[in-house]
Amino acid sequence: MTFTGNEALALSEPLIFETGRREVTGVDIEDAGLTEDRLGGQARKTPIDLPGLTEPETMRHYVRLSRQNYAIDMGLYPLGSCTMKHNPRLNEKMARLPGFGDIHPLQPLSTVPGALELMGELSRWLITMTGMKAVALSPKAGAQGELAGMMAIRAALRARGENRGTVLVPESAHGTNPATAAALGYRVESIKAREDGTVSVEAVREKLSDDVAAIMLTNPNTCGLFEPEVAAIAEAVHEAGAYFYGDGANFNAIVGKAKPGDLGVDAMHINLHKTFSTPHGGGGPGAGPVVLSERLAPFAPLPFLRDDGTLVERSDECDAGETPFGRLVAFHGQMGMYVRAMAYMLSHGADGLKQASEDAVLAANYIKAQLADVMSVSFPDRPAMHEVLFDERFLKGTGVTTLDFAKAMIDEGYHPMTMYFPLVVPGAMLIEPTESESLASLDLFIATLRDLAKGARDGDTARFTEAPRYAPRRRLDETRGARKPVLTYEASSDFKEAAE
């Protein structure tokens, strides 16, 4: 144990509320020269109790904190379904051009033709890649894209005088699918997967009725498999008068290979932060534009862009045939993410985007092939798409759980894969390597997992149950955190008084 508790570059860092001082500031601001305010008698009397730090202290504080995070730029980040691929810095640079970063959403549209042009270009690329009719750019994240798509479906049904109450969701779906359907008041009916991890058209037919508004289907699905009967499912759904919502979380596997529009999808959100690599940023901001079929296009929410490039912001500006279901966000959506995605698409081009899909699928299948003999592949009979699903069967009798296995990966310098999702197999481990890894990187990852699997079999249990041992923190007590939640720092930060 060192005197400071630090271990060389492993530096601990207190909270700003423990080091900051209320009288300190890191921003020099001129005196306002204000003699009399016009705050209508509402001038602040209650102290805020917020500490400040000077600039050098601030830099050090947040740099030290940053070093307690894992990141794509540090190593392979195989989080299945999350698509942690390389984030090109050109995208960041482009988003910061004053013509994009320093424009206001409500300045006259006549002063921002370049912004509308970029939104038009992005729309064109998204529509072309998906084979759809229209796109609503504004949803702020995938889950909001789902909401947009499902609201368009509800509006379309109402327009034909129908009020259907059920939405079908396969059990392998992301939690956002049932949550979105429920938020709109739909009853959620679960569809079981077949033995091979895919959904059969028969299983869908069984649940279809004139009360079904839509099916929400992720394709490729969260088991990493392309749904082979997707076109037939779409047909059956349409025959029943319902709509096909495609969850585009895994679109990155099929860009340039297949178009959801050709497969019968009516609405699909696209996670720009996954497929088009606008950064995840530690949990957002994302962006979730939703592409729409011809039948749903009239219901796209405000604001929407017409083919001629005009932006429609209010319902009274709509022409006949434009019947938006409402507005999901103030302003026009995640422009900063549009620019980043556009830079990514232009850099890749049609050829590069297809190559990215193929390399992602190749890498996942390579991992699957190289680990099949030591870990349990959940669905070995079909090719994986961009991600491959393992489960806990290979750990049976070892005393090591999926969670332990994942935590041991941390000690080896990797971010764990997605664990315990999807729910269709016990102790799921969903690995998505993405196209950003070199062969050497994939081989080292594979060798590491082989060694871990061997370690578990050989009874080296402590390597797993005590992991992580080398991370900034050992395992955290999440039960305590939830039972008696401490969500803010509660002591006063007025250290001047405390010192006195």
The angle that helices 402-411 and 439-457 make with each other, rounded to 10 degrees, is 130
Q: Which of 195, 307, 308, 316 binds other proteins (CB under 8 A)?
A: 316
CA distance 15 to 69: 16
C-alpha separations of 404 from 400, 422, 465, 466, 496 in Å? 6, 18, 5, 8, 45
CA distance 378 to 191: 19
Q: Is 274 in the site for other proteins (CB under 8 A)?
A: no
Could you tell me the smallest distance in angstroms from the CB atom of residue 285 to other proteins?
A: 3
Binding range to other proteins, per CB under 8 A, among 15-23, 202-210, 389-397, 451-459 = 15-23
Q: Is 117 in the site for other proteins (CB under 8 A)?
A: yes
Q: Is 105 in the site for other proteins (CB under 8 A)?
A: yes
Taking phi first (over 0 means left), then psi (-120 to 50 degrees means alpha), and beta for anything else, what does residue 19 get? alpha
Q: Which of 236, 268, 277 is nearest to 92 (CA)?
A: 277
Q: Which of 147, 138, 386 is nearest to 255 (CA)?
A: 386
Q: Is 134 in the site for other proteins (CB under 8 A)?
A: no
Footprint of other proteins on 440-469 (CB under 8 A): 441, 466, 468
E strand or H helix at 377, and its extent? strand 376-377
Q: Which of 15, 159, 447, 462 binds other proteins (CB under 8 A)?
A: 15
Per-residue string for binding with other proteins, 67-86, x by CB under 8 A?
Answer: xxxxxxxx--x-x--x-x-x
Binding range to other proteins, per CB under 8 A, among 237-245, 289-297, 402-410, 454-462 = 402-410
Footprint of other proteins on 207-266 (CB under 8 A): 225-228, 230-231, 254-259, 262-263
Could you tell me the smallest distance in angstroms from the CB atom of residue 409 to other proteins?
A: 9
Q: Is 326 in the site for other proteins (CB under 8 A)?
A: yes
CA distance 375 to 395: 8
Could you tell me the smallest distance in angstroms from the CB atom of residue 37 to other proteins?
A: 6
Binding range to other proteins, per CB under 8 A, among 157-165, 209-217, 351-359, 388-396 = 351-359
- CB nearer other proteins, residue 39 or residue 397: 39
Footprint of other proteins on 157-216 (CB under 8 A): 174-176, 178-185, 188
DSSP 302-319: BSEE-TTSPEE-SGGGPP
Taking phi first (over 0 means left), then psi (-120 to 50 degrees means alpha), and beta for anything else, what does residue 418 get? beta
